[in-house]
Amino acid sequence: MARLLIHVEGQTEESFVNEVLRDHLVNVGYQSVSARIVGNARLRQRRGGIRPWPSVRKDIINHLREDQGCIATTMVDFYALPQHGDGAWPGRATAAGIDAGIKAAHVEAALAEDLSAEVGSGFNPTRFVPFVVMHEFEGLLFSDCPAFCQGIGRPDLELQFQQIRNHFETPEDINDSPITCPSKRVQGLVPGYEKPLYGTIAALEVGLFRIRAQCPHFDSWLQQLESLADPV
C-alpha cells in the first residue's frame, strides 16, 4: 500500500494533517499518512516563514529516494512564498500577474517541473503532488464562519467573519496583501490570535466536508491524492 508524506509549512498544517486529513486518507487506501515541517523537522517550535525552495526540494527528493513506495505532496501557503533570489519557489513571482483562479496551479506546475528535472530521467511524476493553499491556511477556515468563530471561542464575531467571507466567491479567494490576507483579517478581529493553537481547533470545528465543499482547489488536491491511493 502507498505511503503519503505531506511536507507542510508549519505546526498548524502539521496538526491539520494529523488530526483532520490522516484518518480520511488512510480510509481511502493509504498505508500511512504523515506530516513533515519543511526544511527541518526538528524545529517544531518554529512559527511562520517558509524555507528556500532548494532546501525543501532536497528534503522531498531524499524521502522519495529513501522510500520507493512513498508519494510526496506539499501544503504551503501561496501568500509569502519566496519570490526572488536563490530561495525563490518556482512560479511564484510570475503567478502575481495571472488570473487568480489559476495562480496556485501555475506554481504547482512549476514546482513539479523543477523537481522532476532535478531528479532526472526515470522519475515517476505521479509520486510528487505539489499543493499550494490559496491564499493562506486561515482562508480555508472561512468555509464555515459560525464554526470558525466557535472554534476560536468567539461566537460573537460571527457576523464580522461572515461579512469578510461574503465579499469573495470562495474562501480561497480571500486575498494576499499584507493587510488583507486571511490571517491579518483574523488578527484584526481577534488580537492575540495564535495560529498553531486556534487554527487546529477551528479546523476540527469546521470539518473536512465543509472545507471541501467551499474550497475547490483544496478539494481538487484531495481528489488527486485519493486517486493515487490503493483501492480499499
How far CA 114 is from CA of 56, 83, 91, 219, in Å, comes to 12, 15, 10, 24
Asked if pLDDT for residue 27 goes beyond 90, the answer is: yes
Q: For residues 151 and 197, what is the distance between their CA atoms, to the nearest angstrom?
A: 10
Tell me the residue type at 53. W
Element (H, E) at 222: helix 216-228
Cα–Cα distance between 68 and 108 in angstroms, integer? 22
Omega cis (within 30) before 63: no
> And the C-alpha cell for 69?
513506495
Name the DSSP class of 68: T
Q: Which residues of 32-57 are buried (b: 16+ CB within 10 A; e: fewer)?
A: ebebbbbbeeeeeeeeeebbbbeebb
pLDDT on residue 49:
64
Tens of pLDDT, residues 191-202: 888 887 888 899
Contact 194, 152 (CB under 8 A): no
Which of the two residues, 180 and 151, has the higher pLDDT score?
A: 151
Rounded-to-5 percentages of helix, strand, coil across the chain: 55, 10, 35
pLDDT at 41 over 50: no
- DSSP track, 156-221: GGHHHHHHHHHTSSSGGGS--STTTSHHHHHHHHSTT--IIIIIHHHHHHH-HHHHHHH-HHHHHH
Quick one: cell of 156? Answer: 460573537
Which range has the top average pLDDT, 37-41, 99-103, 138-142, 180-184?
138-142
Categorise residue 129: left if φ over 0, alpha if ψ from -120 to 50, beta otherwise: beta
